Amino acid sequence: MPVFRQVGEKQLPNPILYMAWSPNRDLIALANTSGELLLHRLANFQRVWSLLPNENTGKEITSLAWRPDGKVLAFSVGDTKQVVLCDAEKAEILHLFPVEYPASCMHWMEVQDDSSTLASFSESEDESSRFLPKLPTLPKSYSTTSKIFSEEKSDEVTNLLGEVRLNILVVGGPSGFVELYAYGLYKIATLSGISGTCRSLGLSSDLKSLSVITEIRSAEDNPEIHYIQLDTGLLSSCLPELTKMARKFTHISTLLQYLRLSLTCMCEAWEEILMQMDLRLTKFVQEKNTSTQVQDEFLELLLWGHASPELQALLMNQLTVKGLKMLGQSIDSSYSSIQKLVISHLQSGSEALLYHLSEVKGMALWKQKFQPLGLDPAAIEDAIVAVGSFTLKASELLQVIDKSMKNFKAFFRWLYVAMLRMSEDHVPPELNKMTQKDLAFVADFLSEHFSANEELFDRKGKYFNVERVGQYLKDEDEDLISPPNMEGNQWVTFVKQSTQLKDSPLLFPTYPQKSLHFVKRMMEGSIDLCLQKPAEVIGHSVTQAVCLRLYTVPESSENAPRLFELPSLWNDKKAAMHYVVFCMPEISPSKIYILRRATDPNRSVPNGLVALNLNAPLNSSIDDETPAPTSADSSYSCLDARFYDDETLTVVLRSREDDENKMRVLAQLHLNSVLSWDEEFTWDLTLRLEQQTEGIPVQGLAWGNQSREMDNLKAQFVAVNGIRKVACVLSANLRHVRVFEMDAEEEEEEEERADESQEMSSDQDKLEDTMTNQSDAGEGGDGAGGAEVAQVAGQGSGDILDETAGSDTL
């Protein structure tokens, strides 16, 4: 029986462009040509969910990467130039961010650090929950764009961050574009000096170096594959500080998004119906024949109860009693909603921002630890001041809302009674009473809000600005139409008269002429400067340690999906090594090349390159003295190769026979003895590796029985997960997949041992039975034994599925 057990097979309607196994679950993510993202379970290749393309995310998926804990899946979208983080359990979009170029490859790694430096940091990592209130949930009924935070709780940021241990998402693209994102959320480095298009990325778990495979157009216009190792020593030497800074800035970035969506909800709570009064009054001015001011018309109605025919027509025919009630209800509902959002969301979010920025400022002042990472105390102080100004502007909006609600209530109550009297309807007794104080209040409101403004008509096409809240929510650079009157404010007067306080850095500046949106943009700009500075400083600290020219891309593979093509990268965490696996089919079709380099660029590795010879029979051994036959039936070429674990390589091989239906083989190559050799290869860095293959040491292979022929499948690519011991093979037409459990032999041996134990038990029962019933008991015993064996086997397979399902939590 084949050593690899097939557990699923499927013909898919659309070609697959990328596939990636979850790091610690029996789940595989697939991206196809139609822009769909699919998640399948190992058992029977059952689909768990699918995420269809949409306008917000995009339609052209260009790469995939799993977060190391398997809870979040990242995919890049080419047409919208975005990276999207998706919840693996619910298929919900958690976060997305734009990138300068369409990402062509991604890699998500977790730092492996056994020292106690992070242990103490973990205990005091984030005490904000002890001092700050929980962020309220954003209303679901407002914006569809706020779905990310529609169920946002204060601990959602922690869920996105995952564990305290740092993980970094590396994104690469054309023109040498490479960026590093801490926790997949905050950009900590923008790298420069890389040539060509990134094909594959591998950041070492000790953060000492980054391996990059790039494709560069040579002088002959042929694409060349280069291996580049970048020295990222600053990330490694400042790991605790980097982790703390990254988590703080990730909190800050998420809070900014929270404030943006809160402001979006406020804008949607403000209704266009609130502009109705301004537009009707403007039309009234344009149509009336008298020279009397609108303000005088309303004051005459207030004092004498008399309205001109024009005003009466405006009130009774256009505004109407019913329309006035609807307008009053809309204003009350809208203002109340905006007021609640300001108090509960804007102010809570601003307080949290001030807290985290103040902590970052304290970190920046510890120059010995954090200055190498680019934290600038002056820029952070500017950001704190900007957040303070935003908080003051939100408080100003609250005062305007409170005053407007009082004014409108008194005005509408008076106008409603006046209109009932015009229509000779019954006036409720509770509305008929109006004190002298109420009259004075309405008179002040009319004199302040109902004077026609010619300049305003030239700017906005209306003479009046009775509604004062909407101007704060306009995303415009213009000054407020009706800024608040600060003449009677004692504090403002005191500050202006005090030479010490007037320009004091202790006071947050106010912008009385600007809208809330304008001040929010100023705040975002100041905070972005803080967030971008470390990314620039860390990016400039990264230097190129080595650049090796490998080979030119064969013409036959130029149209193949780049996402699947070799070389593939692997990081051996225990040995602190980078591995590069590649083939040069035009030069040596029957060889696989393995390049290894230490993750520490300053540490040299002897015997850094070896070629594995595939011209060996399946059951051969390295120790065999008999030379490998050269017949066609034992000659293979490599189609795809991926590291299964630190010591095993999973490959898809093709027989080099002349037959059109060439045999395809899935095999496991054990590298323990292969990776130790005495010969040293001397690189000539001026030449490509394919031009100097004669001196490369060649090793044979011990395949043993670790292989399986791919019957009725033109296998071409493979994705593996050594932790879960699974593999997925994809056909050359990118539509046919087969899924295998790679260590099924051990499970089968356990089942055989269970069968033997059941047979022994059955034989013992036979000996104890009487001779008379021996025949019947024997038959019954065999049947029972068979049933028990079937039950054990069923339980065994059930345990596999239960373990799978238990690990999925889907």
pLDDT per residue over 192-219, tens digit each? 889 999 999 999 999 999 999 999 987 6
What is the gyration radius of the CA atoms in the chain, in angstroms? 36
Q: What is the amino acid identity at position 594?
A: I
Instruction: Give the span between the Cα atoms of 18 and 563, in whole angstroms.
Output: 6
pLDDT for 272 = 67
pLDDT for 442 = 82
Cα 648 off chain centre by: 31
Report the SS3 class of residue 332. Answer: helix
Instruction: Give the span between the Cα atoms of 143 and 264, in whole angstroms.
Output: 7
> Where would I find the H helices in 423-485?
429-432, 436-449, 454-460
pLDDT for 534 = 93
Report the SS3 class of residue 137. Answer: coil
Report the SS3 class of residue 771. Answer: coil
More confident residue, 206 or 761: 206
Is 632 a residue whose pLDDT tops 50? no
> Tokens 């065994």 correspond to what residue?
796
H or E stretch including 381? Answer: helix 377-422
Is 561 a residue whose pLDDT tops 90? no
Structure tokens at 259: 């404030």
Nearest to 276 by CA among 339, 226, 215, 322: 322
Is 111 a residue whose pLDDT tops 80? yes
pLDDT for 643 = 95
Q: Is 92 exposed, middle or buried (0-12, 13-18, 19+ CB in 10 A)?
A: middle
Nearest to 396 by CA among 562, 302, 243, 508: 508
Instruction: Give the span between the Cα atoms of 172 and 170, in whole angstroms.
Output: 7
Instruction: Give the span between the Cα atoms of 483 and 515, in whole angstroms.
Output: 9
Instruction: Give the span between the Cα atoms of 633 and 665, in whole angstroms.
Output: 13
Instruction: Give the span between the Cα atoms of 257 and 531, in whole angstroms.
Output: 14
- Strand order, beta sheet including 715-721: 5-11, 736-741, 726-731, 715-721
Instruction: Give the span between the Cα atoms of 473 and 272, in whole angstroms.
Output: 12
> Where would I find the H helices in 480-574?
490-497, 499-502, 516-541
Q: Rounded to the nearest 10 degrees, how much is the dihedral formed by the CA atoms of 793, 798, 800, 803?
A: -150
More confident residue, 619 or 160: 160
Ranges 303-307, 537-541, 659-663, 677-681, most confident:
537-541
pLDDT for 583 = 92
Angstrom CA distances, 705 to 1, 529, 702, 739, 755, stand at 10, 59, 9, 19, 24
Instruction: Give the span between the Cα atoms of 470 and 84, in whole angstroms.
Output: 33
Is 609 a residue whose pLDDT tops 80? yes
pLDDT for 379 = 92
pLDDT for 173 = 94
Instruction: Give the span between the Cα atoms of 675 and 787, in whole angstroms.
Output: 48
Over residues 120-133, mean pLDDT: 65
> Where would I find the H helices in 452-515?
454-460, 490-497, 499-502
pLDDT digits (tens, 9 = 90+) for 364-413: 999 999 999 999 999 999 999 999 999 999 999 999 899 888 888 888 88
Is 675 a residue whose pLDDT tops 90? no
Minimum mean pLDDT range among 42-46, 57-61, 480-484: 480-484
Instruction: Give the span between the Cα atoms of 520 and 167, in whole angstroms.
Output: 31
Tell me if 652 sits within 8 A of 718, measured CB to CB. yes
Instruction: Give the span between the Cα atoms of 711 and 661, in whole angstroms.
Output: 10
Tell me if 322 sits within 8 A of 243, measured CB to CB. no
Report the SS3 class of residue 660. Answer: coil
Structure tokens at 70: 């398997």
Question: 120 CB contacts (<8 Å, ≥6 apart)?
Answer: none
Is 148 a residue whose pLDDT tops 60? no
Mean pLDDT of the chain: 80
Minimum mean pLDDT range among 184-198, 378-392, 415-429: 415-429
pLDDT digits (tens, 9 = 90+) for 444-492: 877 777 776 666 655 666 656 677 888 888 887 788 877 887 777 788 8
Over residues 589-608, mean pLDDT: 90
> Where would I find the H helices in 314-376?
321-341, 347-365, 367-370
Instruction: Give the span between the Cα atoms of 742 and 232, in whole angstroms.
Output: 35
Question: 810 CB contacts (<8 Å, ≥6 apart)?
Answer: 27, 39, 41, 48, 49, 88, 89
Structure tokens at 238: 């400042």
Asked whether the whole model's pTM tops 0.75, one would answer yes
Rounded to the nearest 10 degrees, the angle between the axes of helix 377-422 and helix 516-541 is: 160
